[in-house]
Amino acid sequence: MTNRDKALTAFLDCGTDDLSILDDVEYDVGKIIEELYAEGVRPSLNAITSTVFRMGAEEMAALLAEEIRNAQDEFDANPDYDKSVALNELLFALGQLNPHDDIGWHCNCLDTNVYFARNEELYRMYLPDAIERVEAHMGFSF
């Protein structure tokens, strides 16, 4: 183990192998560490991954809001009954979702995961592109 590895593992309160979970994170880890310090939180690996997952939930919420706006605009502009019924069902389903409540996570170094605690089937049915985007940014799959 190099001194750099020793310093990082001591600083982040983790093992050498644990550091690999940050490799695929596309969010700015440096900025996350700065934010943790600003909040008075020691930037451990678990605190960083928890912040990554919170950011993922926030990104999912923004993508959900965009999808709802698009569906509402299409609903408002579409006088066709069959299409309106389908859009109304879509809007109802999307209205059931709340990423801040629906997404859960567990942070414990290599035993870290993120998951849908609720409504997974609705996310996978109506928001597959959003899931793919958020997963890419977090570096973790639901």
Neighbours of 120 (CB within 10 A): 14
pTM: 0.91
Q: Count other C-beta atoms under 10 Å from residue 75's C-beta.
A: 16
Pseudo-torsion of CA 122, 128, 134, 136, nearest 10°?
A: 140
Q: Could you say which DSSP state residue 22 is in?
A: G
- Is the pLDDT at 133 greater than 80? The verdict is yes
**Residue 58 near residue 91, CB atoms below 8 Å:** no
Query: Both tokens of residue 74?
Result: 């299409």
Over the stretch 3-55, which tens digit does the pLDDT of each residue have?
988 999 999 999 999 999 999 999 999 999 999 999 999 999 999 999 999 99
Please spell the DSSP secondary structure of 119-141, one letter per residue. Answer: -HHHHHHH-HHHHHHHHHHHT--
